[in-house]
Amino acid sequence: MITWIGNKLTEIFGTTLAPYVGYVLIGFAIITLVVLMAVISIYLERKIAAFMQMRLGPMRVGKWGTLQAFADVFKLMLKESLTPAQADKQLFNIAPYLVLTVSFLAFAPIAFSPSLQLWDLNIGVLYVTSVSSVGVIGILMAGWASNNKYSLLGAMRSGAQIVSYELSAGIAILTIVMMSGSLSVSGIIQSQADGWWIFKGHIPAIIAFVIFAIASTAELNRAPFDLAEAEQELTAGFHTEYSGMQFAMFFLAEYTNMFIVSMLGTTLFLGGWMPLHIAGWESFNHLMDKIPPFLWFFGKVFISLFMIIWFRWTFPRLRIDQLLKLEWKYLLPIGMVNLVFGAIITWLGWIL
C-alpha cells in the first residue's frame, strides 16, 4: 500500500516534491490515527471504570456519552494556557511538545499489516525502545521548570520509576528478540507465522510477557504505578501547573504511549497482524485467514489496552518503596534468570 501511494504521488507531484508531500500525508495520518484511538480509549476507559464500580459513566453528551471525549477536547482547546510567573518559561513551554513528539516518533517502524508499515527498519525494536525512553526528559523538564514542589517531586518519582522499569522491560523484549533472531519488527512478526511467541516460546515467553506487562505499565505512569501524578499526594504531579492545550498534550501523550506499548506487546508476543492458527484445525485456520490483517492487529492492541485499563481500576497505588522493591528485588532478577533460560532453550532448538 505504501509503495502504491508513493508511485501515485510521484506521478502527480514529480520526483522532487513527492517525498515532501508523502511526509506531510504520513504525519497527518499518524495524528488522525492517534487522536481517534485516544478518543475511543478515553470513552472505553470511562465506561469500563464505571462498569467495575457499578455506575454508568458519562451519559449526557451524545448517545450513551459517546461524544463526551470530543466535548472535553473542545473545552481544552478553548481554555487559556497559563504559565506561572516564577517558572522557567522556555523549558515550561517546550516540555509538553517534547513528550508528545517523542510519542509520535515511536510509530515509525510499527507494522499494522503486511503492506502497511511506515519504515521497515532493521533495528525497529531497538528504535522504539530508545525513542520512547527520551520522553522522561520532557517529564523531568516539566517538573523542574514549573517551580512547584509538587511538580518537582512528581518528576523525580517519574524519573526513578521509568529508568528502573526500563531494565525489566528491555530484558523481556530481549528474550523474544533472541528467540526470533531479529530486531526488525517485520522479521519478528514473520517468525510467528507458525505460532505466536506467547504459545510457542514455552515458559520463558510467558514469563517475559508478564514482566513486560508490569514494567510497561510502570513506564506509562499508570495506576497502580501512577506515583508521578498521585492526585491525593501531589495535586497532579509533574503537570500540576499546566492547563489548556498544554495539559491536553500531556494527556494525549499518555494515551499515545499506551498505544505504543500495546502495539509493541502485540508485535513481540501476540503475532502482530498474524491470524490465530491451531495445528490440525484446517477449517478454523482457513476461516481466521479471511479476517483482514489490520483487524487482527488492532483487535490485539485493544485487548492489551483493556488489560492496562483493568490494572488501573483493580489494584491500589503502590508506595514508592514498594514500587522500587518490586523492580529491583523481584522483576529484574526473575527477568535475568528467564533470559538465560530462554537462551538455553533457543540454543538447544526446543522452540516449537
Q: Regarding predicted confidence, which is higher, 31 or 198?
A: 198
Provide the percentage of residues in the chain whose pLDDT is more than 70.
97
Query: Helices (H) and strands (E) in the chain — how many of each?
Result: 15, 2
pLDDT digits (tens, 9 = 90+) for 96-119: 999 988 888 888 899 998 888 888
Give the residue carrying C-alpha cell 488501573: 312
**107, 261 Cβ separation under 8 angstroms:** no
pLDDT digits (tens, 9 = 90+) for 238-276: 888 888 888 888 888 888 899 999 999 999 999 989 998
pLDDT digits (tens, 9 = 90+) for 149-187: 888 888 888 888 888 899 999 999 999 999 998 999 999
Q: What is the mean pLDDT of the chain?
A: 87
The Cα–Cα gap between 188 and 165 comes to 23
| Single-letter amino acid code for the residue at 339 | L
pTM here is 0.89
Question: What is the residue extent of each domain of the chain?
Answer: 1-78, 86-348
The closest alpha carbon to 176, from 126, 101, 107, belongs to 126
Find the angle CA(21)-CA(99)-CA(46) to the nearest 5 degrees: 100
For 254, counting Cβ atoms within 10 Å of its Cβ (0-12 exposed, 13-18 middle, 19+ buried), the class is buried
pLDDT digits (tens, 9 = 90+) for 116-158: 888 888 888 999 999 988 888 888 999 899 988 888 888 888 8
